[in-house]
């Protein structure tokens, strides 16, 4: 069986390339450019019925959803790496940060992106709720990263694989600043120095300078 | 150690009560009403720094995020129930539907709720993207539930515990119809007949008739 990672450029699928590079496992990488509308091209949308990125194939299996793919690859090919097990003291931390990425941080940013698209006033009450949630989330993350080098503890885990996209490439969609969060900035600096992260970004998005500093970026569309 | 489930009424925390009832494990339940603004009251928001629902306490530990809590309880108290293991043929299905709930379905609905709040036109291009995503997601779920009684296969699992809220109580926030999805409707009927689900809803939201039919509901605010 061959593990194939289908990467839609500038998307959450960069997580899966990074994961494979950290695990140092064999995989075939297929890279797809976004359409001018930012949608995934049709061949990408047809791999899994959901049409979402990321998606992998493993033999007959096509699997979507970042969280599912990361758990699947860690369980099947991870050999115990990058996982915190139930008998370890930081198991609940691992679970929290793993699920917080796509359960809270990413949806909050996405809602704010769609509000920008629709030109909703920044003073709209719903948007104030979202911005407030987002600030609480970043503050909590900054506090955590003042105590530990990575989210689940002092080693990189699947929780970081899930979270980093929202703090980096996602800022091409919503150009927010991280300058008031020095521990998150130091964390991104550590991530950016990892050879596996550098290899992943070069393979998946070779024409993109990884968004690792704290400064708001220009959106790319 | 006592497991305490803090339930914010009409919220994702109903999942955790349901999980505990299915597992038939001891837990202490604390129920909180929403404020008139729909926010969680301050005592709720102070249990975990994120301020989000659900949250549990287990001895010294306070843990937030539905996905993290469900995995934690299943791992620590589940005794192998409601989980599909990596060596089972439907492991990837279990992972997909578990993560699809809060990774795609719930965020899509939330974005649409905030668009309603902000009175964005239904023809707004961003909203068309979201509605399209949502329809694709429901169609895929309906197809799946035409083949199996529950999302991961013919037995209830943690994947259903994650998903059902988005198909039921969440329709008090966004009154969408399920009438074109007969398999999802039959699934909700099966869920509603489970004694553990009935007990959970009676304990957590005794003044709410569970939203188990396909008809759009009036929002409660």
Mean pLDDT of A98-117: 94
| Closest partner CB to A111 (pick from B68, B71, B114) | B114
* Residue B206 belongs to a domain: no
Distance from CA of A96 to the nearest CA of B (A): 5
Same domain, B27 and B64: yes
In sequence order, what are the beta bridge partners of B8? B32
* Residue A119 belongs to a domain: yes
pLDDT tens column, A8-60:
999 999 999 999 999 999 999 999 999 998 899 999 999 999 999 999 999 99
Domain boundary among B40, B58, B78: B78
Domain boundary among A51, A78, A105: A78
Provide the total of helices (H) and of strands (E) in chain B, helices listed first: 9, 4
Same domain, B142 and B173: yes
CATH number for the domain harbouring residue A131 = 1.20.1050.10
Contact between A34 and A10 under an 8 Å Cβ cutoff? The reply is yes
Same domain, B14 and B61: yes
Domain boundary among B78, B101, B128: B78
Distance from CA of B170 to the nearest CA of A (A): 15
Q: For chain B, how many structural domains are there in total?
A: 2
The pLDDT of residue B37: 87
Same domain, A41 and A119: no
> Could B72 and A50 be called an inter-chain contact, meaning their C-beta atoms sit closer than 8 Å?
no
* Residue B216 belongs to a domain: no
What's the mean per-residue pLDDT of chain A?
95
Same domain, B57 and B94: no
* Residues 132 through 161 of chain B touching chain A, CB cutoff 8 Å: 133, 136-137, 140, 143
Mean pLDDT of A123-149: 94
- Among the listed residues B150, B197, B193, B196, the one whose alpha carbon sits nearest the alpha carbon of residue B169: B197
Q: Which residue of A has its CA nearest to B119?
A: A120
* Residue A199 belongs to a domain: no
What's the mean per-residue pLDDT of chain B?
95
pLDDT tens column, B42-99:
999 999 999 999 999 999 999 999 999 999 999 999 999 999 999 999 999 999 999 9
Same domain, A117 and A190: yes
| Closest partner CB to A68 (pick from B98, B111, B126) | B98
Mean pLDDT of A152-180: 97
Same domain, B113 and B73: no
* Residue A65 belongs to a domain: yes
The pLDDT of residue A219: 76
Could you write out the three-class secondary structure of A26-85?
A: CCEEEEECCCCCCCCCHHHHCCCCCCCCCEEEECCEEEECHHHHHHHHHHHHCCCCCCCC
Dist. CA A130–CA A110, nearest whole Å: 10
Same domain, A165 and A96: yes
Same domain, A28 and A122: no
Same domain, B103 and B58: no
Mean pLDDT of A112-123: 88
Q: What is the DSSP letter of B172?
A: G
The confidence band for A121, taking pLDDT boundaries of 50, 70 and 90, is: confident
Same domain, B173 and B116: yes
Give the length of chain B. 221
CATH number for the domain harbouring residue A50 = 3.40.30.10
Structure token digits, residue A137: 């989330």
The pLDDT of residue B166: 98
* Residue B217 belongs to a domain: no
Q: Which residues of B touch A50 (CB under 8 A)?
A: 100, 104, 136-137, 140
Q: Which residues of A touch B151 (CB under 8 A)?
A: none
ipTM: 0.97
* Residue A177 belongs to a domain: yes
Mean pLDDT of B140-152: 98
B111 touches chain A (CB under 8 A): yes
Same domain, B111 and B53: no
* Residue B212 belongs to a domain: no
Identify the residue with better confidence: A55 or B130: A55
Q: Which domain holds residue A151?
A: 90-194
């Amino acid at each position: 069986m061959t593990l194939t990672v289908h990467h839609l450029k500038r998307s959450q699928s960069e997580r899966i390339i990074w994961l494979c590079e950290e695990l140092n496992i064999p995989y075939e990488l297929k890279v797809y450019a976004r359409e001018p509308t930012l949608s995934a091209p049709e061949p990408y949308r047809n791999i899994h019925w959901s049409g979402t990125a990321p998606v992998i194939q493993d033999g007959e299996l096509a699997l979507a959803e970042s969280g599912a793919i990361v758990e699947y690859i860690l369980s099947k090919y991870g050999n115990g790496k990058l996982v915190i097990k139930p008998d370890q003291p930081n198991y609940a931390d691992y679970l929290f940060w793993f699920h917080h990425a796509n359960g809270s941080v990413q949806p909050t940013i996405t809602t704010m992106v769609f509000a920008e698209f629709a030109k909703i006033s920044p003073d709209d009450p719903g948007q104030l709720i979202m911005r407030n949630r987002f600030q609480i989330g970043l503050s909590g993350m900054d506090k955590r990263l003042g105590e530990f080098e990575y989210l689940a503890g002092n080693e990189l885990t699947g929780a970081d694989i899930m979270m980093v996209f929202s703090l980096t490439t996602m800022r091409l969609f919503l150009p927010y600043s991280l300058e008031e969060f020095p521990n998150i900035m130091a964390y991104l600096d550590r991530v950016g120095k990892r050879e596996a992260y550098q290899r992943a970004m070069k393979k998946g998005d070779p024409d993109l300078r990884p968004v690792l500093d704290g400064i708001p970026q220009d959106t790319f569309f």
